[in-house]
Structure formats: C-alpha cells, structure tokens
C-alpha cells in the first residue's frame, strides 16, 4: 500500500502545476480583425505551448457591429468571402 504524500511534496506539485498554467496563459495571443467589406468583427485567441509554435487551443468568435448590421439589412452587402483586416492584437 502507498503512503500519502507529505504536505511539502503536495505543495511542490501544486507550485509546478500553477507555474505550468501561468506559462500557458502568458503564451496566449489574441487579436481582432474587421471585414473590409461588411464591417463584421472577428476575435481570435490562441494558447500556445511555451518555446514552441504549437497551438494548444484556439477560440474564434465573430460579432456583428452596427455597421455590419446596417449594411446587411439594407442589402448593400450580400453574401461574400470576408477579407479580414487586423484591427489590433498582441500576445
């Protein structure tokens, strides 16, 4: 039978886990782009493994703006392939 880990070992494991999570968090990249045709915005966030370029997880969300809603409802812009232009980003 295994003996339970001493408290100091548990705390060390917890510190390593927290450091790993923080290193992943620091490697998040997020940016927002807008479609140059309709004004729709796109938010992308990527979490990457430290010291690699590998993406662990990616989130992609599109949001309608007042401009994109007005253009769509008026019929000024029909179905099209979005041309994303970087608005801001970093990470």
What is residue 1's predicted lDDT score, i.e. its pLDDT? 64
Look at residue 41 and tell me if it is in a domain.
yes
Look at residue 51 and tell me if it is in a domain.
yes
Look at residue 3 and tell me if it is in a domain.
no
Give the burial class of 37: count Cβ atoms within 10 A of its Cβ; 0-12 exposed, 13-18 middle, 19 or more buried: middle
- What is residue 76's three-state secondary structure? coil
Q: Which of 7, 28, 5, 2 is nearest to 91 (CA)?
A: 28
What is residue 56's predicted lDDT score, i.e. its pLDDT? 83
What is residue 29's predicted lDDT score, i.e. its pLDDT? 80
Reading the chain (91 residues) residue by residue, the pLDDT tens digits are: 678 888 988 888 999 998 877 766 656 788 899 999 999 999 999 887 777 778 888 899 999 999 999 999 999 999 999 999 988 877 5
Look at residue 80 and tell me if it is in a domain.
yes
Look at residue 4 and tell me if it is in a domain.
no
Look at residue 14 and tell me if it is in a domain.
no
Look at residue 17 and tell me if it is in a domain.
no
What is residue 23's predicted lDDT score, i.e. its pLDDT? 67
State the residue range of the domain holding 71: 29-90
Say if residues 89 and 43 touch (Cβ distance below 8 Å). Answer: no
């Amino acid at each position: 039978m295994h003996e339970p880990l001493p408290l100091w070992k548990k705390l060390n494991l917890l510190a390593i886990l927290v450091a790993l999570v923080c290193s992943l968090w620091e490697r998040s990249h997020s940016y927002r782009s807008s479609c140059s045709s309709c004004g729709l915005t796109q938010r992308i966030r990527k979490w990457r493994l430290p010291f690699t370029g590998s993406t662990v997880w990616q989130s992609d969300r599109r949001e309608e703006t007042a401009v994109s809603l007005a253009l769509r409802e008026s019929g000024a812009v029909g179905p099209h392939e979005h041309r994303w232009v970087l608005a801001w980003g970093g990470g």
